[in-house]
């Protein structure tokens, strides 16, 4: 909900939406089985982000953070599941296709 903050040292799975004004912070990955409209910060306790990702069924965030890297969101967001990750010194958001989270392929 708007105005709420959820924080954990571990990975976080949310069943539902993260609305504008809400913030989710995790030491690990963030998985949102809904729409991300607020702020998501994965790898919060590791400067580099530690290979962490932010996944959502729909991404329309106000801000994405992985480690100390920050990216402004896009209110237009895609209509397909997307995954955000660090690529060099920036955050890239790409369609989630059929690969497993963390870059591992399905068996």
- The pTM for the full model equals 0.86
Average pLDDT, the chain: 88
Residues 33-80: pLDDT tens digits? 999 999 999 999 988 888 999 999 999 999 999 999 999 877 666 678
Instruction: Show the 3-state SS of 79-92.
Output: CCCEEEEEECCEEE
Strand partners, 87: 90
Reading phi first (left if > 0) and then psi (alpha if -120 to 50, else beta), residue 102 is in left
The full set of domains in the chain, from first to last, is 5-95 (2.160.20.70)
Can you read off the two tokens belonging to residue 16? 């539902």
β-strands 23-26, 63-66: how paired? unpaired
Can you read off the two tokens belonging to residue 45? 């306790």
Can you read off the two tokens belonging to residue 83? 């995954």
Place of tokens 């989630």: 96
Q: Find, among 40, 66, 38, 65, the residue nearest to 52 by Cα.
A: 66
């Amino acid at each position: 909900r708007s105005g709420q903050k959820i924080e954990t040292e571990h990975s976080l799975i949310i069943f539902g939406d993260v609305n504008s004004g809400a913030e989710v912070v995790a030491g690990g990955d963030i998985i949102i089985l809904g729409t991300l409209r607020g702020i998501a910060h994965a790898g919060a306790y590791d400067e580099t982000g530690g290979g962490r990702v932010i996944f959502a069924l729909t991404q329309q965030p106000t801000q994405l953070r992985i480690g100390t890297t920050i990216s402004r969101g896009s209110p237009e967001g895609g209509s397909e599941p997307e995954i955000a990750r660090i690529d060099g010194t920036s955050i890239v958001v790409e369609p989630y296709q059929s690969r497993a989270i963390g870059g591992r392929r399905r068996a």
